[in-house]
Amino acid sequence: MEFRHLGRSGLVISEIAYGNWITHGSQVEADAAHACVHAALEAGITTFDTADVYAGTKAETVLGDALKGQRREGLEIFTKVFWPTGPGRNDRGLSRKHILESINGSLRRLQTDYVDLYQAHRYDNSTPLEETMLAFADVVRSGKALYIGVSEWKASEIRAAADLARQLGVPLISSQPQYSMLWRVIEAEVVPACEELGLGQIVWSPIAQGVLTGKYLPGQAPPAGSRATDAVGGNFVRDLLDDEVLTRVQQLKPLAQESGLTMAQLAVAWVLQNRNVSAAIIGASRPEQVEENVKAAGVKLDEGLLKQIDEILDPVVRRDPRLTTSPAKRP
């Protein structure tokens, strides 16, 4: 495993992080989830990412159970707040009430006294940013989180939050966006802003929901048991199951083979070539998937290969920064 600083902070994290969105508490039974977490630990992963909303809070509980007995100081545990975790009007968003109540719930489920990184899961148009940032500052000063970050925020929103963070004297150090060979919307605005401000990217879906493994074939039904056939996971992958996208992804297979990599390893290694990326989050339903994907750590892709990838995928790559959108304003 290789390690990187998260942005310009002093926090060092594994460049491949383990995330349990969709899988833990929903698609994967607890025993299998624990096996995947233990495989991650054995592979040298120390950074684990989750969120209170995943599987309706169950994912945090599963991760807390799986990490029980590990040396806490040797781990970096990240979670997030924003999406609904209950039926009440204040059980969502980035109000002071929801943030301060949510951190307590997350710590209880994760069975820890603090998280290393507490992230705003989306931007909240219904709450003044000053209120949100002050609440996050109080979470840090209480010792319940060491650092703060954001997820899927636009560059302008990140700049405004960074300015308030400086005024409040709290460490805003990260952005967690979607990023892959096929989804590059952060490159035009978010990455330059974060490089300037000292934030690092912790990117999710580097394998594009499994599309970049090459297992989905143009003109064919998704393989049985794949994410595309799952009632929940399928909602996130269907937009990518376009025949032109899938045809071009198949053209990457010879490049992966020539590099001695699987398609998944090539996809994870590709996002790690971006100097602003501190970590790529991988998920798994089986330990073997973890063992395969961690082999992307430390891989250097030469400029010729990167150029070939661009030439193949360019017509189907999504780059428009407007695709990073905030949720609609709540009533």
Residue of 18, 54, 123, 216 marked catalytic: 54
Dig out the tokens for 176 from the structure: 């967690």
Instruction: Give me the helices (H) in the chain, please.
Output: 30-42, 58-66, 96-110, 129-141, 155-168, 190-197, 234-237, 243-250, 253-258, 263-272, 287-293, 303-313
| CA 214 to mean position of chain CA atoms | 21
Residue with tokens 């599309």: 211
- Torsion of the alpha carbons at 168, 9, 296 and 282, rounded to the nearest 10: -20
* DSSP 3-state of 173: strand
147 included as an active-site residue: no
Contacts of 261 (CB under 8 A, 6+ apart): 269, 295, 296, 299
Burial of 79 (0-12, 13-18, 19+ CB in 10 A): buried
CA distance linking residue 207 with residue 121, whole number of Å: 20
Write out the catalytic residue numbers. 54
